[in-house]
């Protein structure tokens, strides 16, 4: 694959290194001549000094035969310009790094296929750690199974029901019930579930959303 990377900052540099290691043809376009030299010292001739937001620069980089253009500068406006020009030149796939998550909609509307937001990724991580969050991933197993902790909210549709009555997705199992006092029990079919209980559940990765719905109830924001 021929990949053009616009922006030779940390993201662009490490991305280039990985792709070169994966035997791809790579060219980094970087505006600053000094930074270009640094990059060239590390990865050789896979770097070009220029402004990736200019069509003429992209043309010089051979954009017409690129399989993919990744725009990874720190400025969303520059990344959009790079991707839009690349697609206009016929590049089949464009990927943009998004710095302000609110900008994602515009990139999608412009047909930038994949958008990656470091901010969004970190935010997702933080949200997972928040204690108010009702489903916490504990462990991912190689078999594709996942261990999650679920705290039953007051509005849980299974509060007051026995384990036998709970409809779980296939290959899912409630393996531990910890009551609000912190006492753990291995549940039987007769075990009654109460709001405030923490359940440790084994499930398949693809069943997480179904599991959430059956144990926690409607998704956040859908209060009606």
Partner 1 sequence: MNVMIMGCGRVGARVAGILEELGHSVTVLDMNQAAFSRLPEGFRGKRAVGNGMDGPVLERTGIRDMDAFFALTQGDNRNYFASMMAKEVYGIRRVLCRVYDPGREQIFHELGLETFSPTSVGAQLMVDMLLREKGR
Of 100 and 114, CB closest to partner 1: 100
Of 79 and 172, CB closest to partner 1: 79
Q: Is 103 a binder of partner 1 (CB under 8 A)?
A: yes
**Segment near partner 1 (CB under 8 A); pick from 2-10, 75-83, 159-167, 188-196:** 75-83
Residues 6+ positions from 219 with CB-CB distance below 8 Å: 212, 213
**Phi/psi-derived region of residue 217, left when phi > 0, alpha when psi is between -120 and 50, beta in every other case:** left
Interaction pattern, residues 203-222, with partner 1; x per rule: CB under 8 A: --------------------
Backbone angles phi, psi at 149, to 5 degrees: -105, 130
Q: Is 106 a binder of partner 1 (CB under 8 A)?
A: yes
Following CA atoms 85, 89, 95, 101 in sequence, which dihedral angle do they give, to the nearest 10 degrees? Answer: 30
Rounded CA separation 181/194 (Å): 12
Q: Is 56 a binder of partner 1 (CB under 8 A)?
A: yes
Q: Is 64 a binder of partner 1 (CB under 8 A)?
A: no
Closest CA to 114 of 124, 125, 104: 104
Which of 75, 113, 134, 149 lies at the binding interface for partner 1 (CB under 8 A)? Answer: 75
Q: Is 105 a binder of partner 1 (CB under 8 A)?
A: yes
Least distance between partner 1 and beta carbon 4 (Å): 16
Rounded CA separation 96/78 (Å): 10
Coil, strand or helix at 120: helix
Q: Is 91 a binder of partner 1 (CB under 8 A)?
A: no
Of 111 and 180, CB closest to partner 1: 111
**Segment near partner 1 (CB under 8 A); pick from 37-45, 50-58, 136-144, 160-168:** 50-58
Q: Is 110 a binder of partner 1 (CB under 8 A)?
A: yes
- The total of other beta-carbon atoms located within 10 Å of residue 48's CB is 19
**Phi/psi-derived region of residue 153, left when phi > 0, alpha when psi is between -120 and 50, beta in every other case:** beta
Of 29 and 150, CB closest to partner 1: 29
Strand ranges across the sheet with 114-117: 47-49, 25-30, 2-6, 68-71, 93-98, 114-117
Q: Is 10 a binder of partner 1 (CB under 8 A)?
A: no
Which of 5, 29, 80, 112 lies at the binding interface for partner 1 (CB under 8 A)? Answer: 80
Contact residues for partner 1, defined by CB under 8 A: 53-56, 75-78, 80-81, 84-85, 88, 100, 102-103, 105-106, 109-110
């Amino acid at each position: 694959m021929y990949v053009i990377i616009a922006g030779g900052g940390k993201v662009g540099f490490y991305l280039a290194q990985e792709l070169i290691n994966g035997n791809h043809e790579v060219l980094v376009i970087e505006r600053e001549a000094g930074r270009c030299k640094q990059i060239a010292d590390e990865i050789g001739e896979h770097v070009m000094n220029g402004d990736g937001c200019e069509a003429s620069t992209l043309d010089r980089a051979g954009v017409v035969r690129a399989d993919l253009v990744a725009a990874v500068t720190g400025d969303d406006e520059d990344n959009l310009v790079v991707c839009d020009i690349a697609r206009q030149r016929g590049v089949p796939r464009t990927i943009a790094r998004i710095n302000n998550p609110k900008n994602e909609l515009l990139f999608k509307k412009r047909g930038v296929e994949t958008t990656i937001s470091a901010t969004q990724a970190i935010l997702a991580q933080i949200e997972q750690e928040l204690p108010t969050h009702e489903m916490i991933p504990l462990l991912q197993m190689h078999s594709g199974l996942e261990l999650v902790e679920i705290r039953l909210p007051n509005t849980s549709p299974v509060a007051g029901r026995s384990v036998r009555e709970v409809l779980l997705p296939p290959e899912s199992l409630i393996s531990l019930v910890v009551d609000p006092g912190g006492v753990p029990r291995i549940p039987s079919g007769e075990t009654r579930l109460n709001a405030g209980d923490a359940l440790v559940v084994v499930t398949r990765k693809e069943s997480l959303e179904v599991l959430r719905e059956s144990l926690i109830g409607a998704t956040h924001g859908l209060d009606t």
